[in-house]
A and B are shown apart, each in its own frame.
Chain A
């Protein structure tokens, strides 16, 4: 059996239409959920902050324009890496700590010489 007759006999039309609809609905639902995911996460974080009486005050610094303060604040983060460290590790720590604009910040700190090359691809903080 071939042709349209074969398609009908094997329920092909129904399978094709149903299958198309299912995959379209499935991915649309996933797209919708992930588009709302950050809102849900934000909601939980807000509740957590409200619930905690000892919530840390936000540091209202402009991290890219207030580099001396940024460098001072961020230096303790690299204590675990020792005096010299690769920038990739610093980036990983910034990301782990959910610090804003990690790439831009590292770049700005480098350009302003707060992060100085110590050879072999390693960097260290500028000594005061």
Chain B
């Protein structure tokens, strides 16, 4: 009987408290959103299930938890803390990205740069709220709306915040259809939303597509060498794709490799949200600042497009500025849908993808810049 009582004391039912129950409910909510509502299922499903698994209470010291040495979860989590998974995800992203729309409309790249202002605004806000500089930089990168980039920088600067920052970044990416459209409508007039973009400026040759990853990696990585772990694999993946001589490698990078990394990244990030580590005042602050970061990033892209229109003869649709955040392809799709609501024959998707692709590069550069600043 004594043995049975002792066993009961080691079960999760005995050890659970309200915090774990709350986090498990959050995990179930994520799984529900992913499966029933299809909100970013590739991200929310592994994260949601990871949250459930990570919040099952257990005896500390058994080598079970993600923060305990020698546990299986801890080994899997190494890919997150070392920045390995984000790099692999970027390799796959590069192998999947078609830069032709961006190469055809280089001026739209500026919108990708403008949307990064949300990062620096949030950096100031986080510092003002009392976050330490490295923590503030990690929170700020949520404004880039890029999950792997956020995880990568946080792993380098403030590893203790990976859980809340990753969850905030991915949650806001999933909430793009809710967050972005009101901001786009608020900052633009109907007349602006009706602006049509020319079909294409010029056809893109294969040689251009082949040269771009080389030019891109040299220019960006020389500018911010700290972004090499992200942009190096990213442009390498794209070079493989455009070379068309290593189709097998490209296919593997854009399917099996990125999928494997996404599974382990999502699952372990979810599991890292153990209630006793995750439910703190700081996490609440991170979520609030994340929302601010994302909103400011969207707004700054739209406002910059309007400023560009003052000087441009051929006006650009300011909605495209919202696609300057690097949430690919969610924000481009949202821009397209908002444009379609105003005029069902106005197709903005390819133009928005140009801004989106530039946003991916921009946020990775920003991560490199912030890391360099904090290394001093």
Contacts and interface: CB of A to CB of B under 8 A. Distances in A.
A associates with B: yes
Interface stretch (B38-46, B127-135, B175-183, B248-256): B127-135
Contact of B365 (A27, A38, A98): A27
A107 interface: no
A56 interface: no
A37 B369 contact: no
Contacts of A32: 106
Contacts of A41: 205, 207-208, 211
Given A19-B373, A26-B223, A12 B216 contact: no
Contacts of B212: 34, 37
Interface stretch (A3-11, A63-71, A108-116): A3-11
B128 A37 contact: no
A41 B114 CA distance: 29
A37 B362 contact: no
A29 B130 contact: no
Chain A, interface size category, equals: 35 or more
B309 to A, nearest CB: 17
B128 A6 contact: yes
A20 B106 contact: no
A19 B366 contact: yes
Given A13-B124, A22-B223, A32-B106, A1 B369 contact: no
Name, among A18, A30, A31, the residue most crowded by chain B CB atoms within 10 Å (CB to CB).
A30
Interface stretch (B17-25, B115-123, B271-279): B115-123
Given A2-B128, A7-B124, A30-B109, A37 B103 contact: yes
A24 interface: yes
A38 B205 contact: yes
Contacts, number: 116
B129 A95 contact: no
Contacts of B117: 20
Name, among A10, A18, A41, the residue most crowded by chain B CB atoms within 10 Å (CB to CB).
A10
A72 interface: no
Contact of B361 (A10, A18, A20, A27): A27
Contacts of A15: 120, 123, 370, 373
Given A20-B116, A41-B205, A98-B206, A26 B128 contact: no
Given A10-B133, A19-B369, A37-B103, A27 B124 contact: no
Given A2-B130, A23-B113, A37-B208, 16 more contacts: A6-B130, A10-B133, A12-B133, A15-B123, A16-B121, A19-B119, A22-B224, A22-B369, A23-B362, A26-B223, A30-B109, A30-B215, A34-B103, A37-B212, A38-B204, A41-B205
Interface of A: 1-4, 6-7, 10-13, 15-20, 22-24, 26-35, 37-38, 41, 92, 95-96, 98
